[in-house]
Structures are given as C-alpha cells and as structure tokens.
Amino acid sequence: MKKFVSLLLTLTLLLGLCGAIATAEAVPTITILMAGDNTPAEDDSVLRALGEKFGCKVEIQVIPEADYAGKLNSLIASNTLPDLFQIRNSVTLKEMAEAGRLYNMAPALDEYAPDIKAYYGDSIYKSIVNDPDTGIYALFSEAGLYVNNLGIRKDWLAKLGKEIPTNLDELYDVLNAFTYDDPDGNGQNDTYGIALSTASSELWENLMAAFDIPIKTFDNPLCQLEDGTVTTIMKHPRFLEAIEYLRKLYQARLFDPDFTTLTLMQCFEKLWNSQVGMLGFRFVGTTNNWYPGRYTFEVPADPSELFGTVYLDGKGSIAKYARYDLANAFAINAASANPELALAIGNYMWYTEEGQNLTYLGVEGVHYEWVDKEAGVYQRLGEFKDDVVHRADGAFAYASAGGYTKANAETRMMNKTTQDAQAAEWEKVIDWPFIIEPLEADVEYGADLSMIFKEAFAELIVTTGDVQEVYNEYLQRWLDEGGEQYEAEATAAYAAQ
C-alpha cells in the first residue's frame, strides 16, 4: 500500500510538473530590438507591466545607436530576427520588403492596432515599402518633428526700449542695439545680437525663411522654383537678396565674425552665458530642456517672461517631415510566431497615451506620480529620482522620443511656453520640396554638391570681392559637378510623388 501511495504521489507530481511546463510554454514571448543609448535590466518593471497587460513575456534588447546597423545585419544573416525591430537604413528596408521578410500589417490593423490606423490614415502609405495594393510593411516615426523658433531676450528689449521685431529692418535695429548698447548692463562691449554658425543650418532657418528660402540643411539644400524645377537654393530668385542682408549683419559685426569656426554648442553657450540676445533653435531646448539649469544668470521661473518669438514678415521657420524612407518606428518579422501580438504591443507602447507614459515615465505609483496630469507635471519617486536607476528599471529606455506620434509623452511633459511656441510656429512655417525616395544623384554627386554649397554660403557672406562674380562661379561649379543631373532627377522624383 505504501508503494502504491508513493507511486501515486510521484505520478501526481510529474503530472503537475508537466502541466506547469505546458502552461509556461503557452505564454508567448515577444522579442523586440531597438536602438538607444540606455542599458535597462533584462527583467525590469516596465517589461513586467507590458507582459502583464498582454499575457506574455516581453523581452527588449536596446542596442547603442553606433552598433545597431551591425547588430541587425548579423540577425538578418543568421535568420534570427526578433518579432519586432527597427530598420534605420532605406536600402535594408527595401531589400527586406522585397525578400518577403517583413510581415504585412494591413489585415491586422483594425483588430490589433486601431490607434496606428487612426493616427496615420492614408499617410501610412508615404513609407517607401507601403502601398494600398500590396500592403503595409513598415511604420515611420513622426516624433521629434520640432520646428525652429527664433527666440529673443525680452528683458534685453525692455532695458533698451525696443519691441519684438516684425520685419528685417526692425531686426537690424534690435541686433545693433543688442550688440552695442550694453544690454546686459555690465559696462563692457561683450555681446552680439544673434548666435550664428555654419555648423548648423538650423541657426539660419528663420532668417532665410524671411526671404521665402527653405534652408533645411547645408548639405545641398533644395527649393522649388515657380516652373516646378527642384534645385539648389542658390537658384532661388531671392537668394542674393538674402546674402546681401546677411553681409550687412556681418559687416556691422552683429554676430560673431568667427561664425565659420564656431560649433553649435558654442552658440548655445553664448545664449546660456548671456552673450547673445537671439538664437534660432527649437524652444524644446531654449525654454524647456535647458531651462533653467543651463543658464548661468538668474532667470525667472516662467520662461515666457524671458523669451519671446520673432516672426519676420509673418514667416516662421520651415516645415519638418518624417523620414518616410526609413522604418523609424518598426517592422515585424514575417516569420514571427505571434505577429499580431507583436503589432498590438507596438501599437500600445508607442501610439497610445497610456503606453507612451509607461515607456517614458515608467510605472505610475512606482517610478512617478502626477502633480498635475493635465499640465504634464509629474514627480519621480524615491530612488527613481536618479536617472541611472530610473532608466535601469525600464523607464525612458524604450520610449523612442516619447512615442512615434507627433504629440506624445515627451511633448505632453513640456512646459506651456514651449508647447505654445511650437504650435504657433507650425502655423507659420514655409514649405520645401521634401523628396521621399532616395536619389541616385545623391549617391553620385551629393557630397560634392554639398561641399560647393557650404563653401559658397560662407564665402558670399565674408567676401570683399564682387558678390555677383563669386556667386556666378559657385553656381557654375554646382551645375558642372553634377548639379544639372541632380536637378533633373530631383524635379522628376518630386513631381512623381
């Protein structure tokens, strides 16, 4: 009898163990690969919260930006792709789609990703691998599309009896006063009107926009002429007019004459150290991320008391567009055992307010609590006030700029001054010919054409020679060294899209 009871007990334990194994196997695991520079723990609070919500185990591997392409390529080659992953190279994206290695999300959007479907609408087909007739294979991110604000020190204006300038003549007058009338009150000639540098086109966007010229980048910036031609902004009918204005500012020394050697950080520091009264940069930095900690002088609690925004002749900066040629958001492995579940998790994490808050702030009540949710004001709790501890437990690490929507966790946490400035700027932006498809001419001629433009822009501002002659020489170089071919391909591509 004892042997029978013992055997029965053993059998019962074995059956229980088999049942536990079967139950464990019944819980799916969703693996995700994404780029980022944080190193969360393998099993953290955010991953556990995701797993509990979806009845699965979620594993996310975060790879440093510099190493991400190599990691993804190795997984592609070994056929060991995760369920959900980012692709950050247009060539890889197209090759994977053509090889049938990306899951078609289209049939599953209604049931598993309603927020994605509602957010994009027909814009979802702007991705170079998505088409109404063939399917939806990759999603692009619209996060971080921050337009530039031309910020100005309101306290300097008040001290000098000036108003916020609304046109180019008024701007010159204000910049002159900021440079020569001791706006910081220290009795020294140690300020400039505005921070400018050829290190970044962002610093020039608002000034050039006043002439209807979109300078998106110093790497061969493009505009569209009245006849539909897409070409270098050097051929814009007002380009030389803009150059003459910048020359006027330069000759009056209203910005640092060493502008060709200044770094972008040095321009920021001039603002932080009260050495300039204006900076063309998104208020996400000026009045939010930098405020008040970066400023070396006493600042008011409300950034709107210190900074105002300038619109010259009613123009803002230039519109920002998502990189439709990349899957900045994500794609799903066609061989995934649970593609619909992977899609549902991506939909939740990056396209819903609840999921965005989880990946950006962490678990409510554990990592943070709301002070004023409507205003986006929160406070971190206990040990999670430390950024390292906060991110190690999964908070912020999987956020990807707060979510993949234009308004997301990151934007909701910005102060009112910054949100209002961004909203107002979007109402005044000028357009430019953003080309979705990669151009063959870019590969063949892009580097040379970019170098020519950068040289031309700087030299035209500082030259003591004949401006028209210098301009003609650079424009001819641009045309001769691939510009004509680039112009033809860009015009055709933009018309086609």
Q: What average pLDDT does the segment 465-470 reach?
A: 97
Listed in sequence order, the residues at least 6 apart from 52 whose beta carbon sits closer than 8 Å to its beta carbon are none
Are 320 and 147 in contact by the 8 Å Cβ rule? The answer is yes
Q: Model pTM?
A: 0.88
- Residue ranges of domains in the chain, CATH in brackets: 11-143+324-406 (3.40.190.10), 149-318+431-496 (3.40.190.10)
CA 432 to CA 416: how far, in whole Å?
Answer: 28
Q: What average pLDDT does the segment 176-181 reach?
A: 98
CA 11 to CA 5: how far, in whole Å?
Answer: 10
Residue with tokens 């995934």: 336
Q: What average pLDDT does the segment 390-407 reach?
A: 91
Residue 38's pLDDT band, with cuts at 50, 70 and 90, is confident
Among 20-29, 85-94, 468-477, name the most confident range: 468-477
Would you say residue 17 has pLDDT above 90? Answer: no
Would you say residue 473 has pLDDT above 80? Answer: yes
Q: What average pLDDT does the segment 166-179 reach?
A: 98
pLDDT for position 11 = 36
pLDDT for position 323 = 82
pLDDT for position 327 = 53
Express each pLDDT in 81-106 by its tens digit.
Answer: 999 999 988 889 999 999 999 999 99
Would you say residue 51 has pLDDT above 70? Answer: yes
pLDDT for position 400 = 75
pLDDT for position 25 = 57
Q: Is the four-CA dihedral 61, 64, 70, 72 of positive or negative sign?
A: positive
Q: Provide the H-helix boundaries in 189-334.
A: 205-209, 239-251, 264-272, 283
How far are the Cα atoms of 40, 131, 146, 211, 223 from residue 426, in angstroms, in the given order?
A: 35, 28, 9, 18, 19
Q: What average pLDDT does the segment 469-480 reach?
A: 98
pLDDT for position 32 = 97
Indicate the DSSP class of residue 89. -
Express each pLDDT in 421-453 by its tens digit.
Answer: 999 999 999 999 999 888 999 999 999 999 999
Residue 46's pLDDT band, with cuts at 50, 70 and 90, is very high
Express each pLDDT in 335-383 by its tens digit.
Answer: 999 999 999 999 999 999 999 999 999 999 999 999 999 999 999 999 9
Q: What is the DSSP track for 304-367? A: GGTEEE--BTTB--B-----TTSEEEEEEBTT-S-HHHHHHHHHHHHHSHHHHHHHHH-SBTTT
Q: What is the DSSP track for 377-429? A: EEEE-GGGGSHHHHHHTTTTTT-TTT-SSSS-HHHHTS-HHHHHHHHHHHTTP
Express each pLDDT in 222-261 by its tens digit.
Answer: 999 999 999 999 999 999 999 999 999 999 999 999 999 9
Strand 29-35 and strand 84-87: pairing? parallel
Amino acid letter at 218?
Answer: F
